[in-house]
Amino acid sequence: MIFIASRIVSAARLGFAATAILAALAAAAPASERLSTSNRSNQIVIRVDVSDQEMTVMQGGRRLYSWPVSTAKRGKITPAGTYQPQWFSRNHRSSLYDDAPMPFSIFYDGNYAIHGTYSTAALGRPASNGCVRLHPESARTLYEMVYAHGKDNTYIVVQE
């Protein structure tokens, strides 16, 4: 931020217009605006809203799905940020949490994944150890879509 601020101060010598442009560039865009799919019909954006416990799946600028999710319960975290899928596991079982089933897992940040859960009554409220949990049918739909379009064409945006 200091670097950006010094650039804005330096731009003042160039005039008001340059300062305004650099200030606009320095302002961080909300996660919902960071990724646009408007000109990329194959690009998938999966937006996880932790505060609303909801996932929205978009492709080519169109909303395809909105599903309730469960993210981290008290004392755990679901890290915010923008990610791309790292690997897939159709019938994964947790090596960290008592061999718990994690069907249709899309791993995006180390041990963090989007996956199905059989604890569907908890969807819509925090209940996981950090992963993003979905209804198993929603997880299957998402898994097949992302797998078919590829990791490079998919972005996962987790926002608080």
* Catalytic annotation, residues: 115, 131
The amino acid present at 102, given as its one-letter code, is M
Report how far residue 1's alpha carbon sits from residue 77's, in angstroms, rounded to the nearest whole number. Answer: 26
CA-closest candidate to residue 50, choices 33, 35, 70, 31: 70
CA-closest candidate to residue 57, choices 122, 123, 15, 114: 114
CB atoms within 10 A of CB 134: 28
Longest dimension (CA), the chain: 62
End-to-end alpha-carbon separation of the chain, Å?
A: 22
* Contact present, 34 and 57 (Cβ < 8 Å): no
* Contact present, 134 and 115 (Cβ < 8 Å): yes
